[in-house]
Amino acid sequence: MHSSSSTSLSSLTDCASTDDSIEVTKFPVSKNIPNIPDDNDSEISEGIVKEEAEEKECYNDNKLEENEDKMIEEPIGKRRISVPLIYQMNLNKNKDIHGTVTGPSDENFYPVKASEKLRKALNGLDTNDKAIIEVTVGHNNFQRQLIMNTYEDLYSRTLMDDLKNELGGFFLDTVLALFIPAHVYLATLLHQSLCNYKLNRAIAVEIACTRTTTQMKAIKNAYQTTFYNTLEQDIKVKVDGMFGAMLHLLLCSPRDEQINETDTSIEKHVDLIVKDSNGIGRISHNVALFEELFVGHSWRYIAVVIDNIDAKLGGNGHFIETQITYNRNIPSDIKNMLLTIVKISRNTQQYFAEKLHDALGGSKPDYRTLIRIIVSRSEIDLSNICYEYKKHYNNSLIFDIRKICRGEYYQLLISLLSENNP
């Protein structure tokens, strides 16, 4: 049996309201989708995610069924992997933005060998942490779903159950988070953020501001499948007031991903703030103005508007942030929302670097934030986040993590942060 060297934390987020057992229906790739563990529940409910109608266009279930046996018998390199659109959430079209985890190419992906390695690592008096890290970090999120299926086919056992039985602490939390399908993981974080008053609602804002319209559609579908309610309905019921109305707009409104920086509407939006002596403060009390400025536009467009406002009013590049921070008339939840919008529109990777620094630098390390960001950004832009961290805080992220993390948990995080991971 594995003994974690870190203080046990049986959750990534704190959500006492989550049911002990959430039944989930079938999804074409992953047979077993665990819920994110809660602080008050060490058992992780498992289920199967429902096949959604939209995915029929991008994933051929019949072909998958025909090839399931071949997945066990032959190297996957003998055929091409058809990655469902829903698992392409982590693909970044910007060649300068990339994560630290990619997984092997098709011809080098062997789910049988990976499953055998995991079984050997978990089946014994002592677990082989190094082997578990190598398999987990050495594959991307979609490949992990195939490995879970293969593991169950080979051994008639559920990988998630075996991991829970043999691992513990933050190491277990992180491994399980990596095996949960990305869209289900984010949907669960959203649900916990909305339903638990002890949890910072900023997580919901963060997800809304860092996912494209297509990605949010996948997350909303997973949300409804997993929690039997639509995201829109839960926001209206569980988050009230001005903040709730603004959050609903951010999470549920489509966003134009393109920008024409010569667009005359840029000047119009700049003037809405510049020509009003209390323009910035008025945003927090006017949903229509909030929508006009921040909803439906690309993040690059919003950044251009903000930069132009700064240039006209402050000139130092931080005028808006300063005005939002020190304006006593802006409610704290809306203040944090506006600051998140400003920071993410300008530099998403710098925003996450700052969140990681805050998580590591407090009197008590925030392990939930550490796990959430490293796991959810590992295939997207974690390499760039590490760069921004070193640029702004002088020390590398790995160096600062070493101060608070130990043992197999530390080794797993270091592997995730390294571009030369197993």
Q: pLDDT at residue 313 above 80?
A: yes
Output the average pLDDT for the chain.
82
Q: Distance (Å, rounded) from C-alpha 143 to C-alpha 81?
A: 9
- Enter the pTM of the model: 0.81
Q: Distance (Å, rounded) from C-alpha 277 to C-alpha 14?
A: 41
Residue 105's CB: how many other CB atoms inside 10 A? 9
Q: Calculate the alpha carbon distances from 160 to 109, 125, 164, 322, 409 in Å.
A: 21, 18, 6, 46, 18
Q: Distance (Å, rounded) from C-alpha 47 to C-alpha 25?
A: 7
Mean pLDDT computed over 346-368: 95
Q: pLDDT at residue 40 above 90?
A: no
Mean pLDDT computed over 332-348: 96
pLDDT attached to residue 74: 39
Q: What three-state secondary structure class fits 270?
A: helix
Which of the four pLDDT bands, split at 50, 70 and 90, describes residue 96? confident
pLDDT attached to residue 125: 81
Contacting residues for 115 by C-beta, under 8 A, at least 6 apart: 147, 150, 151, 154, 155, 159
Q: pLDDT at residue 34 above 70?
A: no
pLDDT attached to residue 1: 53
Secondary-structure breakdown of the chain: helix, strand, coil percentages, each rounded to the nearest 5: 60, 0, 40
Whether residue 135 contacts residue 117, with contact meaning beta carbons closer than 8 Å, is answered with yes
**Among 62-76, 220-234, 258-272, 361-375, which stretch is predicted with the lowest mean pLDDT?**
62-76
pLDDT attached to residue 318: 84
Which of the four pLDDT bands, split at 50, 70 and 90, describes residue 257? confident
pLDDT attached to residue 260: 67
Q: Distance (Å, rounded) from C-alpha 256 to C-alpha 113?
A: 43
34: DSSP letter: E
Which of the four pLDDT bands, split at 50, 70 and 90, describes residue 411? very high
Mean pLDDT computed over 170-184: 97
Alpha-carbon torsion, ordered 4, 8, 10, 13, to 10 deg:
-120
Q: Distance (Å, rounded) from C-alpha 205 to C-alpha 261?
A: 25
Whether residue 397 contacts residue 390, with contact meaning beta carbons closer than 8 Å, is answered with yes
Percentage above 90 pLDDT, the chain: 65
